């Protein structure tokens, strides 16, 4: 697999996690430090795991890890990791708060 394909997968998974977190329109503003520890060979299972790790006023950061395992062995291990930053936008494509008052009240 080409590195660009892996980056596209990671951005998509990060976008899904970020959207599920805040339920707002988002744009990717950066991909930070992506470490390719190992190539993804054909015939390998790839599991992508994303977690929101930081929430700012209008932005949030998501870490993504790609784990690999072969079909016939139980050898899951980390191959690629990176983080992606998103900004929530309103209907005019201007930054808007990630967390609304209703979400804050739900966490009290």
Query: Contact at 8 Å (CB) between 50 and 83?
Result: no
* Burial degree of 8 (CB within 10 A; 0-12, 13-18, 19+): exposed
Q: Which fold has domain 3-107?
A: Thiol Ester Dehydrase; Chain A (3.10.129)
26 or 70, greater pLDDT = 26
What mean pLDDT value characterizes the chain?
89
In contact, 81 and 66? CB cutoff 8 Å: yes
pLDDT for residue 81 = 96
Please write the tens of the pLDDT for every residue from 11-63: 999 999 999 999 999 999 999 889 999 888 888 999 999 999 999 999 999 99
Rounded Cα distance between 8 and 16, Å, is 12
Rounded distance between C-alpha atoms, residue 63 and residue 104, angstroms: 23
Residue 108 pLDDT exceeds 70: no
Whole-structure pTM value: 0.86
Place of tokens 């970020």: 18
- Under DSSP, the state recorded for 91 is T
Over 50: is that where the pLDDT of 80 sits?
yes
pLDDT at 86: 98
């Amino acid at each position: 697999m080409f590195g660009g394909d892996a980056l596209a997968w990671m951005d998509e998974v990060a976008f899904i996690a970020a959207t599920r977190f805040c339920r707002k329109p988002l744009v990717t503003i950066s991909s930070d430090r992506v470490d390719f520890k190992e190539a993804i060979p054909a015939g390998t299972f790839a599991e992508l795991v994303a977690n929101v790790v930081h929430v700012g006023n209008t932005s949030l950061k998501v870490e993504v890890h790609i784990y690999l395992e072969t079909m016939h062995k139980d050898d899951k291990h980390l191959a690629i990791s990176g983080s992606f930053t998103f900004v929530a936008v309103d209907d005019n494509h201007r930054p808007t708060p990630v967390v609304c008052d209703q979400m804050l009240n739900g966490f009290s």
